[in-house]
Amino acid sequence: MDRTYRCLTCLEHTLSRGFDTSHLSVTCPVCGSFERFVNESVFEQFRAFEESPPESLEWSTLERGERLMISEAVARRGRSIEAFSIER
């Protein structure tokens, strides 16, 4: 089964691969950046949290990379959002 990955720079281009990993690093043919292509399941979880931020976290204070790491842990590792806490 092919998996879909999305460019994190332009968010436009997707590509498919026959393996399952959290992300790929390749040059995007649309925007030209050498960037991460994130697994579509992680991106969907990230987008869901962006639209409806988790109440247990101060989502807006997190950097994009932190939000993606949390989304990856929830979408791919089955971690609960309540397992995360923010220490600043």
| Residue 85 in domain | no
Question: Residue 58 carries which side chain, given as an amino acid letter?
Answer: E
Domain count across the chain = 1
pLDDT value at position 88? Answer: 66
Question: Residue 15 carries which side chain, given as an amino acid letter?
Answer: L
Residue 12, judged by CB atoms within 10 A of its CB (0-12, 13-18, 19+), counts as exposed
Write phi, then psi, for 32 (nearest 5 degrees): 80, 0
As given in the structure block, the two tokens for residue 71 are 């989304």
Q: What is the pLDDT along the chain (88 residues), one digit of tens a residue?
A: 899 999 999 988 999 999 999 999 999 999 999 989 999 999 999 999 999 999 888 999 999 999 999 999 999 999 999 888 777 6
| Residue 32 in domain | yes
pLDDT value at position 59? Answer: 93
| Residue 87 in domain | no
Domain that holds residue 29: 3-79
| pTM, two decimal places | 0.87
For residues 35 and 65, give the distance between their C-alpha atoms in angstroms, rounded to a whole number: 13
| Residue 84 in domain | no
